[in-house]
Amino acid sequence: MTVDTIAGTPVDVNEDGFLTDASQWNEEIAVELARREGIDPLTDRHWEVIRFMRAQYEAKGTGPTVRVLGKTSGVPVKELYQLFPKGPAKLAAKIAGIPKPRGCI
């Protein structure tokens, strides 16, 4: 585990750059993490997914997979891939400061 300074805030991250403590997250960190992943700017639809991921993580202790996200977030799978081309659940989780979801489907 290493410390990365994101948007001026030192945060703990794992080897893949995911925050290991979701409580260290803030919206400026999300904007900077998204920019690093080539997503700039974050639109309202991106934020909808990011906030949904955080809410799910807080409620269930894990973020949803792409399929669950498509069924429950109000953003369909096709659009999820347009918003986060490099993997919606993985990238949205990273930007939302929560661990990578571990489901296979």
Find the part of the chain contacting other proteins (CB under 8 A) among 2-10, 26-34, 46-54, 86-94: 86-94
d(CA 61, CA 25): 16
87 binds other proteins (CB under 8 A): yes
CA distances for 28 relative to 46, 52, 57, 77, 86, angstroms:
14, 17, 19, 26, 21
Tokens of 71: 């069924």
Q: How far is the CB of 104 from other proteins (least distance, A)?
A: 6
Per the annotation, the verdict on 34 as an active-site residue is no
Within residues 26-85, the interface with other proteins by CB under 8 A covers 65-68, 70, 76-78, 81, 85
Contacts of 88 (CB under 8 A, 6+ apart): 49, 66, 69, 77, 80, 81
SS3 at position 2: strand
Residue with Cβ nearer other proteins (9 or 86): 86
Q: How far is the CB of 40 from other proteins (least distance, A)?
A: 17
**Which residues are designated catalytic?**
104
Q: What are the residues binding other proteins (CB under 8 A)?
A: 15, 65-68, 70, 76-78, 81, 85-91, 104-105
